[in-house]
Each structure stands twice: as structure tokens, then as C-alpha cells.
Amino acid sequence: MAGLVPAIHERHTHRMGCGYVYFLTNRPNGILYIGVTSDLVRRVHEHRTGAVAGFTKRYGLKRLVYFEIYDDIRTAIQREHNIKHWSRTWKVRLILATNPPWDDLYDSL
């Protein structure tokens, strides 16, 4: 995968069973997408390159603005489910608490 540091990607793939909840957007205060994955680097790369058709590709959601790490993918799936039922205001507060400028966190993975 072009532009990815192999050591970083490899480290994430060896954590068996881990999970990530992540938020993508197209711009600060733009459309939000909440997802869950066991490999955050790979999944965000897929969103950024448009490898998978769907909501994120249609709306150009490529900016990773928030993520959480869990030891168990099942916990991450439950957290994603819960967050999707929150109001937009609560989701934005999560982003602002750790990433006030809505910076793209992908390069820091």
C-alpha cells in the first residue's frame, strides 16, 4: 500500500482480535461516517482510495478525525452501534475533545 509505513501496518495486523471505532468526514463540521474495523490503516486506506463503493466514496469522506482502540473486536462493534444512536452534537464533542482542529489523523497512525 503506497504511502504506508510497513512497520506501522504490520504492528496493527498482529493484534489479534483488536478493534477500532473511527470517524471519517469530508471537512471540519462536515458529513460524519462512523465505522468499525480490525485493521484501521487498511480500512482508512480503502476509504481514501475509493476502493469500496458506498457512502464514504459517494460523499468524499476521507479525513480520519477520531478513533478508539479496543482489545476485542466485539467491544468495538458494540461501541460503534451505541455511537451511531447518539446525536450529532455528542459525536462532534468526541472529536473536539481530542482533535479540535479536525486534523486528518491518518498520517499519525
Per-residue model confidence as pLDDT tens for the chain (109 residues): 344 444 444 444 445 579 999 999 999 999 999 999 999 999 999 999 999 899 999 999 999 999 999 999 999 999 999 999 999 999 999 999 999 999 999 999 9
Q: What is the pTM of this model?
A: 0.84
For 98, residues 6+ apart whose C-beta sits below 8 A from its C-beta are 66
Q: What is the CATH number of the domain that holds 67?
A: 3.40.1440.10
- Asked if the structure places residue 25 within a domain, the reply is yes
Total of domains in the chain: 1
Cell numbers standing for residue 109: 497512525
- Asked if the structure places residue 80 within a domain, the reply is yes
Domain that holds residue 56: 6-108
- Asked if the structure places residue 67 within a domain, the reply is yes
- Asked if the structure places residue 26 within a domain, the reply is yes
